[in-house]
Amino acid sequence: MGKKLDGRLLANQLQEKLKQEVSEWKLKGQRLPKLVVILIGEDVGSQVYVRNKEAAAKKIGFHSQVDRLPETTSEEELLKRITQYNEDQQIDGILVQLPLPKHIDEERILLAIDASKDVDGFHPLNMGKLFIGQPDKLPCTPYGIMELLRANDIELAGKNAVIIGRSNIVGKPMAQLLLMADATVTITHSRTKNLKEITQNADIIVVAIGQAEFLTADYIKEGAVVIDVGMNRHENGHLVGDVNFENVSPKASYITPVPGGVGPMTITMLMEQTVNNARIK
């Protein structure tokens, strides 16, 4: 049976360290970190993510402001608000919750955020720094996965890593971080032929394909490390990942559960990058 990579446990440990640090700042009368999250519309998944981010910021003890704006908010109105936050020296992190309504240009919005306050790590400047091997702000999910692997002493150098999914949020930055850790990386996706043959040779598999319980035991070799980034709901409302946990777990050496694996680490790295901006200031 594969050992669970407990993201919730590690996230709590890291958040406690941040809480202690922020508490010391407060005792010294220093300015506390501040994160602003902009949420547009009524997307249910986005509402849950934002509530979790609010709860983490409150636990750590720094300022968190959530702007809940209607679906009808114009692109210009959103850009004006971002400009105000860019100029506000009391704000350390700005996050626009994705996805955005169809009438708003996502790329234009991400470009508008001051790259130094982009604690989500999606600004093209931060992506560019990552891909030339000089990372500053990192996309939080891949960052969280790397911390989880590191905390569990999982060797990456020289290992074959396969990523299923090529998104800008997970797949591509995940590949770069694994390359920087000296893994040999293959990116696969929905058009990949002979996927099973590729994954069966992997020491580490990161699954971010957005299909409920897609990965089964016949896709992996004995002892593989399996990281499940997926979050899907069955018709009964039960939350599952992109990996069939019960089926794959006996064959894996390590595996992340859903929930309680990658998700808590994503939020924690967002908190870390916000606090780090305040450290720098």
**Active-site residues: which are they?**
53, 97, 120
What single-letter DSSP state applies at residue 212? T
Two tokens, residue 187: 């990116």
Q: Show the tokens assigned to 76.
A: 């210009």
Q: What is the DSSP string of 117-152?
A: G-TT--SHHHHHHHHTT--SS--HHHHHHHHHHHHT
Give the residue carrying structure tokens 């559960």: 257
| Positions of E strands within 7-151 | 34-40, 63-69, 93-96
* C-beta of residue 212 within 8 angstroms of C-beta of residue 242: yes
Locus of tokens 């990658």: 262
The angle formed by the CA atoms of residues 198, 199 and 200, to the nearest 5 degrees, is 95
Torsion from C-alpha of 76, 79, 83, 86, nearest 10 degrees: 170
Single out the residue of 104, 147, 198, 134 nearest to residue 9, CA to CA: 147
DSSP β-ladder status, 239-240 and 232-233:
antiparallel
Size of the chain, expressed as the number of residues it contains: 281
DSSP 8-state secondary structure symbol assigned to residue 123 = S
